[in-house]
Amino acid sequence: MSPTDVALVLGTRPEIVKLAGVARLLGPRARIVWTGQHWDPTLTTSFFEQYGLPRPDHLLTGIGGEPRGRQLGLMVSALSDHFAARRPAAVVVQGDTNSAAAGALAAHCAGVPVVHVEAGLRSFDRAMPEEANRRLIAPVADLHCAPTATAAAYLLREGIEPQRVVVTGNTVVEATLETLPPEGRVRRILAEHGVVPDGYVLATVHRPENTDDPARLTRILDQLAALALPVLLPLHPRTAAALGRLRLDHTATALRRIPPLDHATFLALARHSRLLVSDSGGVQEECTVLKRPLIVVRNSTERPEAVAAGFARLARPGPELATALREVLADETLPARLARTPSPYGTGDASTTIVTALRARYLTPAPTLLPA
């Protein structure tokens, strides 16, 4: 018999968020495979529950916390065994994580079609592990679901056949709109954190380029702490570990350090922040839906659309970040401009477009049950 389901390989919080809509639309034809790349329950378990997803059909063990090379090897081996035992009609991977790279490679080796959601992003920064993962997935993917025309153009420039590329929009749009709490709940969340609309900064820092460099992390924290507005700083486990390991706890005392947030609470706080400061890829997309300005604290970005639309500004720690903080906070016309600027990532139908393409290419119609 031909395979009748699609395996969705997930291993991190963003993958849960961005593939939940696809999984729900596929219904019983979605097989959720959890790699365990994110092993902290505050970043995973609550997210499955929040998005109404069932427990994974298959779970990998011994992955979280391993070095990148070993993590990739363990995942490829375990996923290869799983796909050999239960061959799916296709394997869906999302973004640029180690889980996505391993899922794509294992599926390709098993002769199973690979569908890459959020395909074609490029930072052109070889130092980024995510860039390596994206470029590893591209040659083995059979269907590239590009979120924007820019991403599609990058793929075509690299020699990907046009018939394998579909511009779908980004699933982050519907995920953000569906998850943002009602305004009454949003206001209660702000009150619980002691802030008022447009009267605070929300910051997240978790990428190795920032957390593993003591001088760089110190500059970021010092420049945030110098702001006149209160700064909420949800601590990613990697950032919390870096503060202790690098003995930088004293540099964050002027910031309001809080535990990691569930997605709905983060969006509620982001929605009414005066400014977002982050090195996250997903926040670069979410800010275009929430209509909030963002300073991207990184060397490069794979999401130039958010910058071109005026939502995001790239700034390295140091003088660049200081200038960006000062100028963005002083621009009183910015909120009105962003409020009327459409998101470059679509209007909220990406999951439907992706599932339509999946069904057309890889899933035979469900059998019709005849009356007894």
- DSSP string computed for 42-107: GGTHHHHHHTTPPPPSEE--S-TTS-HHHHHHHHHHHHHHHHHHS--SEEEEETTSHHHHHHHHHH
Count Cα neighbours of 188 within 13 Å in the Cβ-side half-sphere.
Answer: 6
CB 354 within 8 A of CB 171: yes
Phi-psi label, residue 261: left if phi above 0, alpha if psi -120 to 50, beta otherwise: beta
CB atoms within 10 A of CB 254: 14
Tokens 């919390």, located at residue: 240
Residue 201 has a CB neighbour count (10 Å cut-off) of: 23
Burial of 208 (0-12, 13-18, 19+ CB in 10 A): middle
| Annotated active-site residue in 82, 116, 206, 236 | 206
Listing DSSP states for 155-204 in one string gives: HHHTT--GGGEEE---THHHHHHHHSPPHHHHHHHHHHTT--TTS-EEEE
Known catalytic residue: 250?
no
Q: At what angle do helices 98-109 and 129-137 cross, to 10 degrees?
A: 20
What is the set of active-site residues?
206
